[in-house]
A and B are shown apart, each in its own frame.
Chain A
């Protein structure tokens, strides 16, 4: 265990400490700006994972009608067959269920390391500065950057935010992000399992922001700042990736009304998404249609109108 902790320290905490201190020095000694830039860097580095997460999200939405059909077909009859068919559907659609949560899992060590880094470099105790001296690379630019300015606006980044502003921002931004990527519940959820899944989904939309907001009360403000900027950049990335398919109004809806069931007409399975870009594009369009089909009729109509407008603009270009 000590060996793992040592590897974690040398392999992640120390490099991150030096990168953050170097960034702080580049940006006028402000550690808060360094955390913001570091967060954006992390977003950039984990973009392949994030992008696969978005793709998985879309693909998952695209195959919802087929999934619902399978569930209707085998409901209460042959659970093993249902499972096998479902997995086959995932394979064909190129959906990796783990793809959705992988970025989150990858980020966990970074959160923990960042917590350690902030403790190490912004600790109030003079003892932590002695420890910090042993964690700096022998590069003058980094080694002589101490003391660090641990204040940004009215926050002491090494201490929990007693003003509750950052915990609120973390919770609010995470809620918005969750809302934007969580599809509304479907009226096709007839089985108990489906209904439970939807309840879990809705619960997560609330629980995650609340949990992170609560944690932000006790962790150093620097880590809360990381979460906030990470959420904010996630929302922006989603906007650029999903574009006009994003349903901003759903943010204001506390408990969205169930959407009508999927159109039975959509029977063909989507193209496999592994290789060619055109096929992927095709799948994206299908995904968009499936997504619309799940929304309430009025919403779907509006989305359709928007899509047409969007198409006209594309045509003009």
Chain B
């Protein structure tokens, strides 16, 4: 650029101004930040609540239907005020054990120190009080230093973890007794939360981002990471039992069926792993990544892939039964109901096929007009489907015809899976800070619950 020799400096300045404007425009358009699309999760504890994750927050909303759900949350995680949010139960137990092991400290002092540990918050002055009492105790210097260091470490680690959540995408796992919820954050931290209070039971940094959610199976939970690993972790403590390596990132929640864990990966494979972490078989058939959660029937596993195909794979050996091709990727988890597989695609269509043969059950797929990433549910005798555009449809499961009136506009785009309370209520979470509660018993009736700010 021989700008130097330009006789007319206006040209020079015009070019510079253009360049500046262009680059400012690009600078203003920052890369999109991960927001999350975790599906709402109803729980039965304390008369019923719905756990709703929105961006980097999780809310426990009291009630289960539109009539009784309220925007006043039982709790929210992470809390607004961290000076009243206790450190995790596991960290408290660890510090309590360290206090018990102190030498030359009388029981009264130990009891007082334990109480201070019980009152230790992730932020605020509570740590100073505990530090002062540890310093004043009669324990040997080395033990006091070690305990102080452990307190510092616990507070720093948990405070840091709460500050880097950046969106929840995966299914929220809930223990069989409904007392513990397992939550994965995009930044790679797994939390076990007390469903009643929202307090942390334990947390683990997986070392890589997590898009999928947690599959709960008794006393073990399973999840996969962007670090190409699948982890089995003790539900009570968060201690890893085993880990399994895949060739690609794992973006979907694993599915547990009997003694097998099914995991899909962006390497284009479906893995069947036994409960000791050993590979049983691998289906490498997809020509592109797989990000949908496997759906398991008596004899087959169903997966949708980025090669535009929906696959049925034999449970026994991982060979292909059939496949169905669409016009774009399959990302949503398909729904298996009465031998029919309902699979939405990013081409905007919902496909219904015979799960055994792969033959179409409808005369033609139902076209929503925009991509469908949300998993459908069955409620009120209809198939409920949400398109990215924000439209919710109730379809006749037998024909694919839209039932009873037109679509319901949720207002903003919907990417989260739909969930149901097992009856007629469907929870729809668009990207806006509002939970939509759809009564699917007759015509779709929508109520909205604004999330707390």
**Could you tell me which A residues sit within 8 Å of B by CB distance?**
53, 56-57, 60-61, 64, 67, 86, 90, 97-98, 100-101, 103-105, 108-109, 111-112, 115-116, 119, 123-128, 130, 133-134, 138, 140, 143-147, 158-159, 178, 181-183, 197-198, 200-201, 204, 215, 218-220
**Could you tell me which B residues sit within 8 Å of A by CB distance?**
1-9, 11-12, 15, 18-19, 22-23, 25-27, 29, 31-35, 37, 167, 169, 211, 248-249, 251, 266, 287-289, 306-308, 327-329, 331, 346, 371, 373, 388, 415
Chain B residue at minimum C-beta to C-beta distance from A102: B15
CA distance A90 to B5 in the complex (A): 12
Q: Please list the 8 inter-chain residue pairs (A to B) with the smallest Cβ-Cβ separation, ordered nearest first.
A: A201-B4, A144-B288, A57-B2, A125-B34, A60-B5, A115-B26, A101-B15, A144-B307
**Chain B residues near A109 (CB, 8 Å)?**
22
Would B5 and A183 count as touching, CB distance under 8 A?
A: yes
CA distance A146 to B4 in the complex (A): 45
CA distance A227 to B389 in the complex (A): 37
Would A126 and B12 count as touching, CB distance under 8 A?
A: no
**Chain A residues near B29 (CB, 8 Å)?**
115-116, 119
From residue B268, how far is it (CB to closest CB) to chain A in Å?
9
**Chain A residues near B9 (CB, 8 Å)?**
197, 200
CA distance A174 to B327 in the complex (A): 45
26 contacts across the A-B interface (CB closer than 8 A): A53-B2, A103-B1, A104-B15, A108-B19, A109-B22, A111-B22, A115-B29, A127-B415, A128-B31, A130-B346, A130-B373, A130-B415, A133-B329, A134-B328, A143-B308, A144-B306, A145-B288, A146-B288, A146-B289, A146-B329, A147-B289, A197-B9, A200-B9, A201-B5, A204-B3, A219-B26
**Chain B residues near A182 (CB, 8 Å)?**
2, 4
Would B18 and A201 count as touching, CB distance under 8 A?
A: no
Would A219 and B27 count as touching, CB distance under 8 A?
A: yes
Instruction: Say whether chain A's binding surface is mostly helix, strand, loop, or mixed.
Output: helix
Would B31 and A119 count as touching, CB distance under 8 A?
A: yes
Query: Given A123-B32, A126-B34, A146-B289 in contact, is the A133-B5 Cβ separation under 8 Å?
Result: no
Partner pick for A57 among B5, B25, B308, CB 8 A cutoff: B5
CA distance A43 to B6 in the complex (A): 23
CA distance A116 to B23 in the complex (A): 12
**Chain B residues near A128 (CB, 8 Å)?**
31-32
Partner pick for B22 among A90, A108, A146, CB 8 A cutoff: A108
